């Protein structure tokens, strides 16, 4: 067998071998935890530091602007920031710009409030604390004290209470979301008279204290599409609302100009960005440990190394076989 | 008439929306609020139009036994099943966090895995494409290849272990050369959008009318 035919054979390798090797390196790290350290970047620290300064008198928006296709990257970002907010008792409004994204919002809260999640928050639905609300106890510290005074004990393993309407509000999907953002610059309640569970938003203390986006301190758009730019166009530029992005890795390169101009306070790019936020949460004692994004970084490391190896092998075969001198290369594609 | 009226509506609406943005007066604010109230209602009609059109096209395909007609059932059945289930069990619109519903079940166990699978398949195709197409054929292609390898390694923890310069060089590429190129593209697109919008508002660009009034 001539040397050229070996290189040609290598270049025309059956693509199923490539698929198989990617499959193997994607699965194995889930069973063998390498736990490689994730170094944080300024872009993610910008969001974390900003969030850390907020307290119960502030409020943030987390917009679920992604579909299930990109949930592996976007979901941990949203979960990380919501857990940070719940830890600091910062009220969180949650929206979705598309019906599918509404399901992602529900899935995120299902995870955060699920007792099987390590470091979960104990949910207190809106109706369950109506007596305290009616008696005027709505300030966060007073509410928790009064709630526990009624004999409610924080379950073991729970990091805190999550009062619906005080700590979080799932506003969900509303059609023509760019106009919804515009509308919320005047009134959130006009755009969302009821939340996802049918609770009247006018009765929610967090909405009474933050009537429109001008009274909100940050919006994080976790996005798998260019919808995140709507927040800059309609909220940042119109009323000066600070915006943060949580975008997929392939999108991350698009939004560096927004960071440089200061239109966006920070950006979590892809799984790496989410893992960085998880590291910051764990290092600062906000969550007991890192979560899914951090685990996924081992998989991503292995996959990136393999793809780079493929590129190197492809180039070696291409040049060593002398194919660069030919005008066309036979291949099976 | 069929062309003049829509052109007038677009011109008046477009100019009003431009003016209201720059003039923070009560009147402009009222116009803006009217607009944000009306627009979703108009879009709701477009939704009816869209569902109606989709139903008509696919039912015709099924009737005529056109090529790949069975797939039309795959469009029509979920199109009507999901809203139907959502209205039978209204709590499903709330996600069924405490009360699991069929709607919620179908979303979480069919829609989510289908989309996640489709997206995750990218990894396999990217690996295959990288092996076959990413060649250092010219100086520019070599620069692209080196930049890609540095950014890829800089994005993962193993890059930190290989050398601190890798992630910092990767970030430098993203923060400077990438930023400059992106900004140039965005500005070009922005000016293009501005020019197109002005052409539509002033009736120079009329393709959006389709064949109306001809």
State pLDDT tens for residues A75-125: 999 999 999 999 999 999 999 998 889 889 989 999 999 999 999 999 999
- Is A196–B95 a contact, with Cβ atoms under 8 angstroms apart? yes
ipTM of the modeled complex: 0.82
Spatial strand order in the sheet of A92-96: A168-173, A92-96, A60-65, A218-223, A243-247, A264-269
> Residue B95 has which token pair?
């996600």
Chain A residue closest in CA terms to B95 = A106
Rounded distance, CA A11 to CA A2, Å? 15
**B33-66 pLDDT, tens per residue?**
888 788 888 888 888 999 999 999 999 999 999 9
Show which of residues 60-99 on chain B sit within 8 Å of chain A, judged by CB atoms: 93-95, 97
Query: What is the domain partition of chain B in residue ranges?
Result: 1-89
Write down the H helix ranges in chain B. 4-22, 26-64, 70-88, 102-106, 112-133, 139-154, 157-162, 165-173, 179-201
Rounded to whole angstroms, what are the CA distances from A293 to A40, A72, A106, B94?
A: 13, 8, 19, 27
**A301-319 pLDDT, tens per residue?**
999 999 999 999 999 999 9
B124, B132, B145: residue with CB nearest A22: B124
CB proximity A176 to B under 8 Å: yes
Model confidence at B89, in pLDDT bands (50, 70, 90)?
A: low
The torsion of the CA quartet B109, B114, B115, B121, rounded to 10 degrees, works out to 140
The pTM of the full predicted model, rounded to 2 decimals, is 0.89
Rounded distance, CA A63 to CA A222, Å? 6
Q: Which long-range contacts (CB under 8 A, 24 or more apart) does A30-34 make?
A: A30/A295, A30/A298, A30/A299, A33/A295, A33/A298, A34/A298, A34/A301
- Is A253–B174 a contact, with Cβ atoms under 8 angstroms apart? yes
**A25-78 pLDDT, tens per residue?**
999 988 887 878 899 999 999 999 999 999 999 999 999 999 999 999 999 999
A34: nearest Cα among B149, B163, B154, B157: B157
B33, B123, B160: residue with CB nearest A26: B123
Write down the H helix ranges in A240-291. 249-252, 256-261, 270-283
């Amino acid at each position: 067998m001539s040397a050229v035919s070996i290189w040609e054979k290598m270049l025309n390798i059956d693509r199923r071998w490539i698929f198989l090797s990617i499959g193997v390196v994607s699965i194995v790290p889930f069973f063998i935890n390498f736990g490689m350290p994730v170094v944080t970047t300024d872009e993610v620290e910008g969001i974390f530091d900003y969030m850390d300064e907020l307290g119960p008198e502030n409020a943030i928006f987390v917009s679920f602007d992604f579909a299930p296709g990109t949930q592996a990257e976007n979901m941990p970002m949203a979960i990380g920031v919501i857990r940070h907010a719940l830890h600091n008792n910062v009220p969180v409004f949650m929206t979705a710009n598309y019906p599918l994204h509404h399901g992602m919002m529900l899935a995120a809260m299902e995870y955060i409030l699920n007792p099987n999640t390590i470091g979960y928050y104990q949910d207190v639905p809106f109706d369950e604390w109506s007596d305290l609300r009616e008696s005027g106890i709505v300030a966060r510290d007073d509410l928790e004290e009064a709630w526990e005074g009624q004999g409610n004990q924080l379950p073991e393993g729970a990091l805190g209470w999550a009062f619906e309407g005080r700590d979080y509000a799932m506003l969900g999907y509303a059609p023509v979301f760019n106009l919804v953002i515009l509308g919320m610059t005047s009134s959130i309640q006009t755009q969302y008279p009821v939340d996802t569970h049918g609770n009247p938003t006018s009765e929610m203390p967090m909405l009474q204290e933050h009537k429109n986006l001008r009274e909100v301190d940050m919006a994080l758009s976790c996005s798998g599409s260019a919808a995140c730019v709507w927040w800059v166009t309609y909220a940042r530029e119109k009323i000066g609302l600070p915006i943060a992005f949580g975008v997929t890795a392939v999108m991350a390169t698009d939004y560096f100009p927004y960071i440089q101009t200061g239109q966006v306070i920070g950006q979590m790019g892809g799984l790496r960005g989410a893992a960085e936020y998880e590291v910051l949460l764990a290092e600062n004692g906000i969550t007991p440990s890192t979560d899914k994004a951090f685990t996924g970084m081992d998989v991503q490391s292995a996959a990136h190394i393999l793809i780079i190896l493929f590129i190197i092998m492809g180039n070696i075969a291409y040049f060593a076989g002398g194919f660069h001198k030919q005008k066309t290369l036979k291949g099976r594609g | 008439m069929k062309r003049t009226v829509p052109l007038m509506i677009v011109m008046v609406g477009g100019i009003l929306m431009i003016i209201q943005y720059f003039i923070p007066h009560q009147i402009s604010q009222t116009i803006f609020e009217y607009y944000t109230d009306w627009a979703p209602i108009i879009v709701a009609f477009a939704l009816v139009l869209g569902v109606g059109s989709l139903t008509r096209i696919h039912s015709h395909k099924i009737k005529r036994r056109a090529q790949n007609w069975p797939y039309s059932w795959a469009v029509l059945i979920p199109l009507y099943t999901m809203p139907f289930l959502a209205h039978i069990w209204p709590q499903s619109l709330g996600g069924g966090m405490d009360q699991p519903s069929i709607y919620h079940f179908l979303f979480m166990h069919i829609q989510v895995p289908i989309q996640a699978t489709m997206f995750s398949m990218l990894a396999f195709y990217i690996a295959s494409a990288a092996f076959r197409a990413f060649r250092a054929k010219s100086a520019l292609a070599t620069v692209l290849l080196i930049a890609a390898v540095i950014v890829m390694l800089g994005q993962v923890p193993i890059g930190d272990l290989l050398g601190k310069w890798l992630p910092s060089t990767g970030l430098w590429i993203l923060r400077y050369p990438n930023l400059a190129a992106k900004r140039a593209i965005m500005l070009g697109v922005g000016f293009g959008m501005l020019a197109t919008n002005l052409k539509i508002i002033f009736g120079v660009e009329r393709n959006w009318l389709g064949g109306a009034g001809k």
